[in-house]
């Protein structure tokens, strides 16, 4: 009876020229599946190569082999024959997130002067190598580091112009076996070969070890800031004259 009524209904609608949906006829409808293939592809990001500098320096007084990766993770291997300087190199690596590998031999039976100086000269040269043409970097860096009673501020500019102003007033002549006068000489040697303007200011403190360690920590953090890439600069040089390297 139901089928007869449905057939009658269909015939009636057909006479009126009206189509009948399949669902009204009790038949299952077919489902059309549309598959869309996305043509959008992501552009792969090219990882920036690590900025690394290596220096091998040999004289009658010293033999230095030093590598610095300024895009590192803070690893340090320092064998300088000067225990306190090894400790400071560890501060540089750890707080600057630089990877530093140093092997040094020198005439330390005389004193630490030649080895201290030549390590700093090699470090400055390696740093300059790692920075290359210095395109895209922040260039400037500033950091103040406390260590207990000591407080030291470091301001630097990777300008290509060597200059050091150092106001450290260290109350003792030695830290262990390390002569404290070698601290300023270390940084003077470093700026000479790196092309860096460097200002070190002692804001407070009276313990020589604390003051020197705070100096290296502040220097590491300020250098890290200066070496980092400014994405807004888009690879250009942070100078109105268009060059930061030494002539």
Please give the share of the chain, as a percent, with pLDDT higher than 70.
77
In this prediction, residue 42 carries a pLDDT of 34
pLDDT greater than 50 at residue 2: no
Asked whether the predicted pLDDT for residue 241 surpasses 60, the reply is no
76 domain residue, yes or no: yes
For residue range 94-137, list pLDDT tens digits in order: 999 999 999 999 999 999 999 999 999 999 999 999 998 888 89
The verdict on residue 31 lying in a domain is no
User: Above pLDDT 90, what percent of the chain?
Assistant: 69
Write down the mean pLDDT value for the chain: 85
Say what the pLDDT of residue 17 is: 54
Taking CB atoms within 8 Å and a gap of at least 24, the contacts of 230-238 are: 230/136, 230/137, 230/138, 233/136, 234/136, 235/135, 235/136, 236/135, 236/136, 237/133, 237/134, 237/135, 237/136, 238/134, 238/137, 238/138, 238/139, 238/140
SS3 per residue for the chain: CHHHHHHHHHHHHHHCCCCCCHHHHCCCCCCCCCCCCCCCCCCCCCCCCCCEEEEEEECCCEEEEEEEECCCCCCEEEECCCHHHHHHHHHHHHHHCCEEEEEEEECCCCCCHHHHHHHHHHHHHHHHHHHCCCCCECCEEEEEEEECCEEEEEEEECCCCCEEEECCCCCCCEECCEECHHHHHHHHHHHHHHCCEEEEEEEECCCHHHHHHHHHHHHHHHHHHHHCECHHHCCCCCCCCCCCCCC
CATH number reported for the structural domain that contains residue 176 in this entry: 3.30.230.40
Q: pLDDT of 143-190, one tens digit each?
A: 999 999 999 999 999 988 999 999 999 999 999 999 999 999 999 999
Number of domains in the chain: 1
Q: Is the pLDDT of residue 45 over 60?
A: no
Give per-residue pLDDT as tens, 49-96.
789 999 999 999 999 999 999 999 999 999 999 999 999 999 999 999
> Does residue 239 fall inside a structural domain?
no
**Domain assignment of residue 66, yes or no:** yes
Which residue segment(s) compose the domain that 120 sits in?
A: 52-233
Which has more pLDDT, 134 or 4? 134
Residue 41 lies in a domain: no
| Residue reference for tokens 């500019």 | 157
């Amino acid at each position: 009876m139901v089928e007869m009524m449905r057939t009658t209904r269909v015939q009636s609608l057909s006479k009126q020229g009206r189509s009948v949906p399949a669902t009204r006829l009790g038949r299952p409808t077919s489902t059309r599946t549309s598959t869309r293939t996305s043509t959008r592809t992501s552009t792969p990001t090219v990882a920036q190569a690590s900025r690394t500098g290596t220096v091998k320096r040999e004289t009658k007084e010293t033999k230095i082999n030093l590598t610095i990766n300024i895009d590192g993770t803070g690893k340090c291997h320092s064998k300088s024959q000067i225990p306190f300087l090894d400790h400071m190199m560890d501060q540089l690596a750890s707080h600057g997130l630089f990877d530093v590998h140093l092997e040094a031999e020198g005439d330390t039976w005389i004193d630490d002067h030649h080895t201290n100086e030549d390590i700093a000269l090699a470090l400055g040269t390696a740093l300059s190598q790692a920075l290359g043409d210095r395109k895209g970097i922040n260039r400037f860096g500033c950091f103040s580091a406390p260590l207990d009673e000591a407080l030291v501020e470091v301001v630097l500019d990777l300008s290509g112009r060597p200059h050091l102003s150092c106001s450290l007033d260290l109350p003792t002549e030695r830290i262990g076996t390390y002569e404290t006068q070698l601290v300023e000489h270390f940084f003077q040697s470093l700026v000479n070969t790196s092309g860096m303007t460097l200002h070190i200011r002692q804001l407070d403190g009276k313990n020589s070890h604390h003051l020197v360690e705070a100096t290296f920590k502040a220097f590491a953090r300020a250098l890290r800031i200066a070496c980092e890439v400014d994405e807004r600069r888009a690879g250009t040089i942070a100078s109105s004259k268009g060059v930061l390297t030494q002539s």
